[in-house]
Amino acid sequence: MVEPHDDAPPTTSKRSGKRSGAGEQAAAELVEHKGDTLIGRSVTINRARDELYAVWRDFGNLPRFLDNVERVDVIDDRRSHWVVKAPGGKTVEWDAVITQEQPGEMIAWASTEGAEVPNSGRIDFRDVGGRGTVVSATIVYDPPAGFIGKVIAKMFQREPAIQARRDLRRFKQLMETGEIATAARTREMLGKEKD
Amino acid sequence: MRALTWHGKHDVRIETVDDPEILNPRDAIIKISSTAICGSDLHLYDGYIPTMQAGDILGHEFMGEVVEVGAGSTLRKGQRVVVPFTIACGNCYHCGKQQYSACDNGNPADNQDIAQTLYGHPMSGLFGYSHMTGGYAGGQAEFVRVPFSDVGPIVVPEGVEDDRVLFLSDILPTGWQAAEYAQIEPGDTVAVWGCGPVGLFSVQSAFLMGAERVIAIDHFPHRLELAKRFGAETINFEESQTYEALMEMTGGIGPDACIDAVGLEAHGFFVDNIIDQIKASTFLGTDRTHSIRQAIIACRKGGRVSMPAVYGGFVDKFPLGAFMEKGLTLRTGQTHVQRYLPALLNAIMEGKIDTTFLISHRLPLEQAPEGYRMFHDKQDEVTKVVLKPGLDRIAA
Ligand SMILES: NC(=O)c1ccc[n+]([C@@H]2O[C@H](COP(=O)([O-])OP(=O)(O)OC[C@H]3O[C@@H](n4cnc5c(N)ncnc54)[C@H](O)[C@@H]3O)[C@@H](O)[C@H]2O)c1
Ligand SMILES: [Zn+2]
Ligand SMILES: [Zn+2]
């Protein structure tokens, strides 16, 4: 029997975002295994690959466009500490380590042992002639039950792929236009938007 | 500041709200000197456009004086500018192709989801036109925050009155793009549905682009009269049967190009229209599309249909068969305003295009709700209302 197989990315599988069948192997190649919920999004950014890579590789920049990430402390060249917003003004935190990287092309990371929300991901940068760079984010995580599960639901706005898409759009806006678009009218309104 | 806010169907108010501030480097704050009510605003006023929120400031046709600039703006304080209704970044792939209303970055990230779901792709941000297009505060106010002010606004030469250039913000480029999309060839006959501002500017533009005849269709005598002034022949759809008249007036061929400048609020007692109207009031139903159906049926074989008119949702009974069998071409879209500004400003300065004929009423901003009511109820005589924050109160 030939396995049903096509060229679409595993993250677009009809099987409800879970890795399964043909997708499973492809996803396993993408990232270290840290859970079984897989999301993936790509965006095309009209800037050079190296420039985009450099901004992303400096994890301290990420909270500017990753909406739910409050802070990333860079510990050393490979390790970082993540502080992520949770409901009720609380936060969830974990350490992450870079598991693989190819300068200008890709960065892969995974949470370390004992993280409340085991997760891993990778970001890829690929040239597209004349249109800049395709940036693809792939994240695998293990949403726990109970309170933390709710935190995660909020973190990814229930539809994890939607949050990823919004974050990538903000990254694109920042890199293409130098700023992140807002419809706010006053600083006060802008402040509320960011909460 | 004072501003015109939306609160629901046929409920707009003048209220005091916080002044806008510079939030991003490329922003500018404009002090409004003139701002117009548009046919598109009537779609909001009539409650046809989803994702509106109580308190939203309306207005996407405006101009004024630069009073504050961010570090990345190329404008200077004191300059007078007209602002395009489409908010475009100037940096993305689409802006690079001058497809400004398809800008990837003009719409805030979170507000792009609705259009991505409904249309497959998010479009650019628009001023004062629902949260699907960004949720930006509009210009029917004393001040407005203009993002990407180094790309959109066009500086107006000294001494040129507002009334001559205000319509560069939307309806003049919209009429021009509509005619351009009709791909007019010398000798062509062009039919234009709707003699509102967009239709009337389409008539003018079609002649400038070499149309031999333009046939304008509406049911308001005064508006048809204005079309006639520019050399158009007219059909009053309450007096005559539009399809039959078009066929007879073109020797059985049909117009070479048809422009739908009516949109989702087509008037008239047509069966398809009434069914559409009932469904449209639920948002998920269909837009009222009588004019575009008729344009497709009347258009000659192999002809072009241009549709500046706004539609927001789904359509029933779209004559897809006629469209295919006759091999028609359809071009449409929100206007890429920035693309046309320099050339159209020149045409105005050289006296080739006059826009002032259109303005029937000038009111102070404080009387904006009255302006909406008039524009809505008395379309025949009220062709365009311009609001001026500085003006003294006028007795109705
Ligand atoms: N594409 C764009 O970027 C863009 C920009 C501005 C406006 N618009 C749209 O263009 C359309 C026209 O705008 P406007 O300001 O001229 O509006 P308007 O309401 O002033 O004019 C519409 C005219 O159409 C006439 N009409 C109604 N039913 C008709 C029918 N069945 N046949 C012929 N005529 C009919 C009306 O009597 C009216 O005179 C609107 O849908 C508006 O939203 C699009
Ligand atoms: Zn308009
Ligand atoms: Zn753009």
Q: Are strands B2-8 and B361-364 parallel, antiparallel or unpaired?
A: unpaired
* Alpha-carbon span B245 to B257, nearest angstrom: 15
* Alpha-carbon span B384 to B39, nearest angstrom: 9
Q: Can you list the domains of chain B with their CATH numbers?
A: 2-170+335-395 (3.90.180.10), 176-332 (3.40.50.720)
Query: SS3 for B101-133, per residue?
Result: HHCCCCCCHHHHHHHHHHHCCCCCEEECCCCCC
Residue of higher predicted confidence among A194 and A8: A8
What is the tens place of the pLDDT at every residue in A34-45?
A: 666 677 789 999
Spans of chain B, pLDDT less than 50: 284
Q: How far is B222 from chain A (nearest CA, A)?
A: 39
φ and ψ at residue B317, rounded to 5 degrees: 55, 35
pLDDT higher than 80, residue A87: no
List residues, by chain if needed, whose CB lies under 5 Å from ion ligand 3: B 88-89, 92, 95, 103, 105
Best of A177, A188, A192, A195 to substitute, by most chain B Cβ atoms within 10 angstroms, is: A177
Domain ranges of chain A: 33-194
- Taking CA atoms, B114 is separated from A48, A144, B140, B388, in Å, by 29, 29, 25, 34
Provide the phi-psi class of B85: left if phi over 0, else alpha when psi is between -120 and 50, else beta. Answer: alpha
Q: Please name the member of B92, B104, B135 whose beta carbon is closest to the beta carbon of A183.
A: B135
pLDDT higher than 60, residue A62: yes
Q: Is the Cβ atom of B196 under 6 angstroms away from ligand 1? A: yes
Q: Enter the CATH code of domain A33-194.
A: 3.30.530.20
pLDDT at A33: 59
- Mean pLDDT of all residues in A43-62: 96
Instruction: With beta carbons less than 8 A apart as the criterion, state whether B11 and B152 touch.
Output: no
pLDDT at B263: 80
What is the tens place of the pLDDT at every residue in A143-162?
A: 666 655 656 655 554 456 67
| SS3 call for A92 | strand
Instruction: With beta carbons less than 8 A apart as the criterion, state whether A182 and B23 touch.
Output: yes
Angle at B360 between CA B354 and CA B366, to 5 degrees: 120
Q: How far is the CA of A188 from the centre of ligand 3 (A)?
A: 27
pLDDT at A19: 44
- Which helix or strand (DSSP H or E) is residue A108 part of? strand A106-111
Could A177 and B89 be called an inter-chain contact, meaning their C-beta atoms sit closer than 8 Å?
Answer: yes
What is the tens place of the pLDDT at every residue in A100-143?
A: 999 999 999 999 988 877 888 899 999 998 899 999 998 887 76
Instruction: With beta carbons less than 8 A apart as the criterion, state whether A18 and A10 touch.
Output: no
ipTM: 0.90
A188, amino acid identity = E
Q: How far is the CA of B133 from the centre of ligand 2 (A)?
A: 14
Could A182 and B24 be called an inter-chain contact, meaning their C-beta atoms sit closer than 8 Å?
Answer: yes
Q: Does B237 touch chain A (CB under 8 A)?
A: no
Q: Please name the member of B105, B107, B136 whose beta carbon is closest to the beta carbon of A177.
A: B105
